[in-house]
Chain A
Amino acid sequence: MNAALLAQYAMNGLMLGMMYALVAVGFTLFFGVLDVIKFSHGDVLTVGAFTALATFVGLTSSGIASSPLLLVAMIAVATVAMAALGMLIARALVLPLRSAPALNTLLITLMLGTVLRESVRLFYPAGANPKPFPRLLPGGSIAIGQFDLRVDNAIMLIAGVAVIVGLQFLLNRTKLGLAIRAVAQDEETARTMGVNFTAVVLITFAIGSALAAFAGIMNGLYYNEINFGIGLLLGVIGFAAAIIGGLGSIYGAILGGFLFAALQTIGAVALPFASAYKDVFAFAVVIVFMAIRPTGLIQEKISERV
């Protein structure tokens, strides 16, 4: 195997890992503040991607043709809309079920995911068919030795890193971040310290869902195709990544996302048997990993199970 090929595999893995990480961070944020698992997260990503596509269709039909402008508008509309959807889900479904067993939240959001997915299929025009997603990033590629680095992929990776760094800054350097971390660590104490619990939860869901919308657009730009089912597997993988990383830890989720992508790539490339088993391989490794290290790569400082 030559270096160019190896670089291409690495690039494939990095792009996948970035999308998984963005989804996993959402799972981990929700679990952090409320100790719930929100299974509709992947489908929020789908709705986000379709919202972006609808924005694109709407704007181009009203005569706007500039790619950067379109892209900015798509990201803005989709992230804001999904942030609102995330808050709505938290307000209407997750918060009212706070005192019910966690299993109820898991189930209700699983159902909601199906509703979202099928709604896209039924109500988006010809939503059952795969949809072409516009190419809005510059094409072209930079030759590094024999390896052609696609400019659009590089831009997406940089944008993904920027979003994660931004999130990190928000959580660690701002008052809002402090409030989110306080709620995550101890809700009761945070309340007595004057933190508005409901507002923090809603904002956290808004942030997580906006990240999903961003990942959805990235998915569309990377594959130039979206369909109503993209969120299903991304949701499961994002969740698995969050678990590997240690649910509740942002770094863990990011690490988990890239680790899962690496496992899939290795599964498809290096194993002697057919690539059909790459998901089997990746998930099997997750199972083994969870058996050895049930708290994930980076465990929460205070275990919930004490």
Chain B
Amino acid sequence: MSTRFNVGALLAAAVIVAGIGTAEAKDKVKVGFIGPLTGGVSVNGLGGRNSADLSVRLRNADPATKYDYELVVLDDECKPNVAVQVATKMAADKEIIGAATHYCSATAIATVDTYHKFGLPVIVWGAVLPDITYRNKYPEVHRVNGTMINQNDSNADLITKLGYKTVAVIHDTTDYGKGHNQYFSDALAKAGSAKIVGTFGVTADQQDFTAELTQIKALNPQVIYFGGLTPLGVRIRSQMDKLGITAVFDGTSGIVSDAFIQGLGPLAEGVLAFREGAPTEKLPGGKFFMEKYNAQKYDNPPEAYGAFAYAAMDMIIAAIEKVGPDRKKLIAELADVKDRDSIVGKITFDDHGQNTVPVITRYVIQDGKFVEWDDSEYASGKRKLPGQK
């Protein structure tokens, strides 16, 4: 085992030396991206893919860049079983030095062991389940976006401040939805004044929610909290209306996408949602990012997490530029990230590789747009949510 490792290290060293020797032809270095490119949340995956691609293109266009980067893109379909397959494929390809991986929490948590086993350094760009970084202490796994603990604290805080007393919870039964349920319930209990009148787990591909919503109607809550992704969110909000339920629809980062508003039309008005980090246009590098993104004329918008995918990929490439295309050196380099500037603001990884971003943005949908709560007419009192004090 140790002999083989030494040979590998020698080979790597030889490659690097050879690379310096022929400076005019840049060596090819492969970096990876994994996200949901097909299926219900594919808009977010495609936005992330484009953003990572943008990072690679900008680096390659820069003459000062030492290597010629090639992006390898794989599709996890937001399904854990598929994710493990593609993660294994990517991690087993020793030419791939590092990767920006996963939008869905269910896939990100399913693959951390794979990355650890194969020693592939990854930076998660969109999944928010705390366990992804905190369950184990894998040096390979990092995350640029925040976790759902922060957003649910903020969520419970707003619900309490608005004077709501009764909340019904619907969550999908993936790790993502269950995590949201747990952290929101904890946060709400800590906040003290509102109570949860009922909790309903639903499957991630469910179409009909009338049975659950009829039960909720009987419980008559002021707020329906939903821990899940856009497709389910659209169905539930739409069916709430059919059953004449007027409660506030309180979502998570999982519904922050243009597809949510397009899927609902006027029914999206007054829906709450929360997300880690600031809105793309308010990020330190947001203007730069949007300009460059639009210049590439991608088919899809970057969506809510595109800037994070860009930041993740950019950090990987910057580290490879510094230490060379070697997985172990890359891991060592990423272990020491403090106050690093990026387009999403300063990034500091804690000992679990988790970026400690404290900022949570609170959104309310107003006139077909995600508007920051503090800037909205709901906060100023010009409009009122159902039952808002």
Contact = CB atoms under 8 A, between A and B. Distances in A.
Contacts of B173: 276
A148 B242 CA distance: 11
A9 to B, nearest CB: 6
Interface residues of A, number: 38
B235 A223 contact: yes
B200 A130 contact: no
Contacts of A275: 200-202, 211-212, 215
Interface string A266-305: 0011000011101100000000000000000000000000
B205 A232 contact: yes
A189 B290 CA distance: 70
Contacts of A131: 263
A264 B230 CA distance: 24
Nearest to A148: B244
Contact of B40 (A219, A229, A265): A229
A15 B265 CA distance: 24
Contacts of B38: 118, 121, 128
A196 interface: no
Contact of B202 (A9, A12, A276): A276
Contacts of A219: 207
A150 interface: yes
Contacts of B238: 132, 223-225
Contacts, number: 103
A16 B217 CA distance: 19
B203 to A, nearest CB: 6
Contacts of A126: 43, 259, 262
Given A121-B38, A223-B238, A265-B211, A132 B231 contact: no
Interface in A126-179: 126, 128-132, 141, 148, 150
A148 B239 CA distance: 15
A128 B43 contact: yes
Given A225-B235, A275-B201, A279-B203, A132 B211 contact: no
Contact of A264 (B205, B211, B265): B211
Contacts of A150: 242
A102 interface: no
B264 interface: yes
Nearest to B41: A128
A227 interface: yes
B205 A8 contact: no
B214 A229 contact: no
Interface in B167-217: 173, 199-203, 205-208, 210-212, 214-215, 217
A224 B240 CA distance: 11
Contact of B207 (A8, A234, A269): A234
B243 interface: yes
Contacts of A223: 207-208, 235, 238-239, 242
Given A131-B263, A232-B205, A5 B214 contact: yes
B42 A128 contact: yes
B39 interface: yes
B360 to A, nearest CB: 25
A69 B142 CA distance: 56
B234 A225 contact: yes
B82 to A, nearest CB: 14
A268 B201 CA distance: 10
B218 interface: yes
B211 A9 contact: yes
Given A223-B239, A268-B212, A275-B202, A230 B207 contact: yes
A6 to B, nearest CB: 10
A80 to B, nearest CB: 26
A233 interface: yes
Contacts of A130: 40, 230-231, 234-235, 259, 263
A279 B207 CA distance: 12
Contact of A225 (B201, B203, B263): B263
Interface string B224-264: 00000011001100110111100000000000000100111
A129 B207 contact: no
B243 to A, nearest CB: 7
Given A131-B263, A150-B242, A269-B211, 5 more contacts: A9-B214, A118-B38, A126-B43, A232-B205, A279-B206
18 contacts: A1-B218, A8-B214, A9-B211, A128-B39, A129-B259, A130-B40, A130-B263, A132-B263, A223-B207, A223-B235, A227-B40, A229-B39, A229-B40, A233-B205, A269-B211, A275-B201, A275-B215, A276-B173
Interface of B: 38-40, 42-43, 173, 199-203, 205-208, 210-212, 214-215, 217-218, 230-231, 234-235, 238-239, 241-244, 259, 262-265
